[in-house]
Chain A
Amino acid sequence: MGMFDSINISASALTAQKTRIDIISKNMANVNTTRSTGGMPYRRQMVVFEEQRGPSFSSYLEKHTNRFNGKGVEISEIVEDTTPFKLKYEPGHPDANEDGYVMLPNVDMVTEMVNMIDAQRAYEANITAINGTKSMLMKALEISRR
């Protein structure tokens, strides 16, 4: 395991959380968007995280020889939330159907806010981990320094 591996792992987590914040911002920006792909309202998106691994055989070997394995986290995919759209009675709206209902995105502002706080705190936690690693390395340089 290299000297900067723990920093690289934390950096991958920072990138992942940053992407999560990006997607949450996108959801919040499109909370009232009624025209998206295929003439349908905007669908809420979610990120799926996955543990980073090397080539499969070597990671299998490392797992069974008790060596360190895993290189952090990465975005596996960005999926769409399949929960149904919200309906709102607004007959004057150009996208209203014949009964006067408008289909609105399945984005819940409160959920997005909570997820954003979660992502922010996770980002901060990883920065704390990086700072911890850094101060450990700096302390190691202080050994026997006069």
Chain B
Amino acid sequence: MEVRTIRTINQIAPTDGLNKKLDGSNATQFGQLLKNALNRVNELQIESDEYKKLLLTGDLDNLHDVTIAAEKANISLQLTLSIRNKLVEAYREIMRMQI
């Protein structure tokens, strides 16, 4: 029976990347990411508003477009809210930390 050599730990878990320092560009990337996500949520809200306007003026072709647009806006807003709650919670957790 062939006995395989045990691999060194470095091959399994490379540690090179852990020592890299975070540079400033990552922070702006996160901000940009958040901004883009919020913009997309806002776009869905605007789309929902446009459909509602069409419904009220009677120019609407398909009723389901309104309900679907409203649903999409609702779900994305709820997702945004829950992410915001998570962020605030994490911030509070850090502020409560005993030093």
Q: Which residues of A contact B (CB under 8 A)?
A: 3-4, 7, 11, 14-15, 18, 127, 130, 134, 137-138, 141, 145
Contact = CB atoms under 8 A, between A and B. Distances in A.
Q: Please provide the 10 A-B residue pairs with the shortest distance between their CB atoms, ordered closest to farther.
A: A14-B64, A11-B68, A137-B75, A141-B82, A4-B72, A15-B62, A18-B62, A141-B78, A134-B71, A7-B68
Contacts, number: 30
Nearest to B74: A134
B62 A134 contact: no
Interface of B: 62, 64-65, 68, 71-72, 75-76, 78-79, 82
A75 to B, nearest CB: 13
B contact patch SS: helix
A14 B62 contact: yes
20 contacts: A4-B75, A7-B68, A7-B71, A7-B72, A11-B64, A11-B65, A14-B64, A14-B68, A15-B62, A15-B64, A15-B65, A18-B62, A127-B64, A130-B71, A134-B71, A134-B75, A141-B78, A141-B79, A141-B82, A145-B82
A contact patch SS: helix
Contacts of B76: 3
A24 B72 CA distance: 30
Of listed A127, A137, A138, residue having the most chain B CB within 10 A:
A137
Contact of B68 (A3, A130, A137, A145): A130
A18 B82 CA distance: 35
Nearest to A17: B64
Nearest to A145: B82
A18 B64 contact: yes
B68 to A, nearest CB: 5
Given A18-B64, A127-B64, A138-B75, 19 more contacts: A3-B76, A4-B75, A7-B68, A7-B72, A11-B64, A11-B65, A11-B68, A14-B62, A14-B64, A14-B68, A15-B64, A15-B65, A18-B62, A130-B68, A130-B71, A134-B75, A141-B79, A141-B82, A145-B82
